[in-house]
Amino acid sequence: MALTVVIAEDSLLMREGVKSVLALDDEIEIAGVCGDYDGLIAAVYANEPDAVITDIRMPPTQTDEGIRAANLIHASHPNVGVVVLSQYVEPRYALSLFETGTSGRAYLLKERVADPGELAAAVRQVVSGGSVVDPRVVDALVTGRTADRQSPLHRLTEREMEVLAEMATGANNAAIGEALFISARSVEKHINAIFTKLDLSHTEDIHRRVRAVLLYLGGQP
């Protein structure tokens, strides 16, 4: 069965571009298209899609409609994945998107739309409950993070930071191992060490993972 997607984008050119890219994938079906915040929320309630692809800035205020829509959709339709698209590297918006959880959310730069495989992969990742962060946004967050020398992240070894960086992109343990050329067992050991060093050793694993990623993205105690 095809995955259904609602697209929210006020730029006609960008909207048609996203539609054209997704049309190349036989397993993705466009359930609705709109150009503002109210239209997006209405389309989600009307179509019950598997995922939403939304611009970060839309009418009526052209500020953070995509982030607010993602939070509302997550609360009202927790099984709907959300891919937020932004034209610029804006770390504060990524932090805002993920501060209440990473499951089923992605933050990508609009330049990724040029790659059909990458956009479709992000849709599938959020539908499955995963998360994706654009590598350029991660780089910007890392730059800001390293300025804070009081961060508990400085307790981590270089390898543990590499593992945490992969976690921040939404990679699971197997994918982290492949990316860093280490075994799954080594990945698990590094993650447990990360939890301990960041004082996250007394909560459930899924919550520890989310909190560790948020520390990484925010660079704050």
- Same domain, yes or no, for 178 and 81? no
Domain assignment of residue 192, yes or no: yes
- Same domain, yes or no, for 125 and 154? no
Mean pLDDT (whole number) for 16-36? 94
- Same domain, yes or no, for 124 and 163? no
**pLDDT score for 146:** 53
**pLDDT score for 28:** 96
Rounded distance between C-alpha atoms, residue 46 and residue 216, angstroms: 37
Q: Global pTM? A: 0.69
- Same domain, yes or no, for 95 and 165? no
| pLDDT, tens only, 176-211 | 999 899 999 999 999 999 999 998 876 666 678 888
The tokens describing 106, both together, are: 């992605």
CATH of the domain at 184: 1.10.10.10
**pLDDT score for 199:** 87
**pLDDT score for 144:** 62
**pLDDT score for 221:** 38
- Same domain, yes or no, for 134 and 153? no
Q: pLDDT grade, residue 14 (50/70/90)?
A: very high
Domain boundary among 75, 103, 138: 138
CA distance to 33, 111, 132, 160, 197, per residue, from 219 (Å): 36, 26, 18, 15, 14
Mean pLDDT (whole number) for 11-34? 93
Q: Which amino acid is at 175?
A: A
- Same domain, yes or no, for 92 and 185? no
| pLDDT, tens only, 97-119 | 888 888 999 999 998 888 888 99
Res 149 pLDDT > 70: no
Q: Which amino acid is at 1?
A: M
Domain boundary among 138, 162, 194: 138
- Same domain, yes or no, for 7 and 103? yes
Report helix, strand and coil shares of the chain as percent, to nearest 5.
55, 15, 30
Q: Whole domain around residue 59: which residue ranges?
A: 3-138
Determine phi and psi for 108, rounding to 5 degrees.
-125, 150
Domain assignment of residue 100, yes or no: yes
Q: What is the mean pLDDT of the chain?
A: 88
- Same domain, yes or no, for 22 and 121? yes
- Same domain, yes or no, for 119 and 186? no
Domain assignment of residue 143, yes or no: no
Cα 209 off chain centre by: 14
50 burial level (CB within 10 Å; 0-12, 13-18, 19+): buried
Domain boundary among 138, 171, 193: 138
Res 123 pLDDT > 80: yes
